[in-house]
């Protein structure tokens, strides 16, 4: 499932740079697109603002098919305090913009599966696909608004995975 997870993340990351190139994060001295995978980074005392954080949850498999299909739930977490120029009073608009970016990033609902352990990444035989997101209610924590969207990501297991 690691190739599917990597392919999903890279698809969203590439799409985000097109949708909103100004959504970035400075991480370990490098400016990157504002999306990251929680398990691939050092632990955060608190999730960063105005960035999408992918958190992988439960894994399942359907072995009754001709080829094994794996599925893993991905939670896309994000939060904002709004902007300083508006004293944070635009935090609702900022969260709505991030909601729209999530919807835009996940469409279309598939991407080629690549093996990122090779350089350049090697194209695999199948695709990675996912369903529509399920959004949680907004959580208000003092001056911060947060939300998450859950998406189930599917992939057929290939030889050697």
| Residue 55: per-residue pLDDT | 97
- The label of the residue with tokens 């209610």 reads 137
Average pLDDT over residues 105-121: 96
Return mean pLDDT, the chain: 93
Average pLDDT over residues 67-87: 90
pLDDT band at 60 (very low <50, low <70, confident <90, very high): confident
Distance from C-alpha of 37 to C-alpha of 120, rounded to nearest angstrom: 21
* 101 contacts 19 by C-beta, under 8 angstroms: yes
pLDDT at 88 over 80: no
Average pLDDT over residues 41-52: 92
pLDDT at 65 over 80: no
Percent of the chain exceeding pLDDT 70 equals: 100
Lowest-confidence pick of 53-67, 95-109, 124-138:
53-67
Q: Which fold has domain 2-156?
A: STM4215-like (3.30.2000)
Compute CA distances 131 → 56, 77, 81, 91, whole Å.
15, 17, 29, 28
């Amino acid at each position: 499932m690691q190739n599917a997870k990597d392919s999903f993340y890279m698809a969203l990351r590439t799409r985000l740079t097109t949708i909103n190139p100004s959504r970035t994060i400075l991480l370990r001295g490098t400016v990157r697109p504002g999306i990251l995978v929680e398990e691939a980074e050092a632990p955060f005392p608190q999730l960063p603002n105005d960035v999408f954080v992918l958190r992988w949850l439960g894994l399942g498999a359907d072995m009754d098919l001709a080829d094994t299909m794996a599925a893993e739930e991905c939670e896309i977490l994000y939060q904002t305090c709004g902007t300083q120029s508006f004293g944070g009073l635009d935090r609702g608009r900022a969260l709505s913009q991030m909601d729209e970016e999530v919807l835009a990033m996940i469409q279309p609902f598939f991407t080629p599966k690549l093996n990122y352990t090779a350089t350049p990444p090697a194209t695999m035989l199948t695709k990675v696909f996912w369903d529509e997101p399920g959004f949680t209610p907004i959580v208000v924590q003092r001056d911060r608004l947060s939300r998450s969207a859950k998406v189930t990501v599917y992939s057929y297991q290939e030889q050697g995975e």
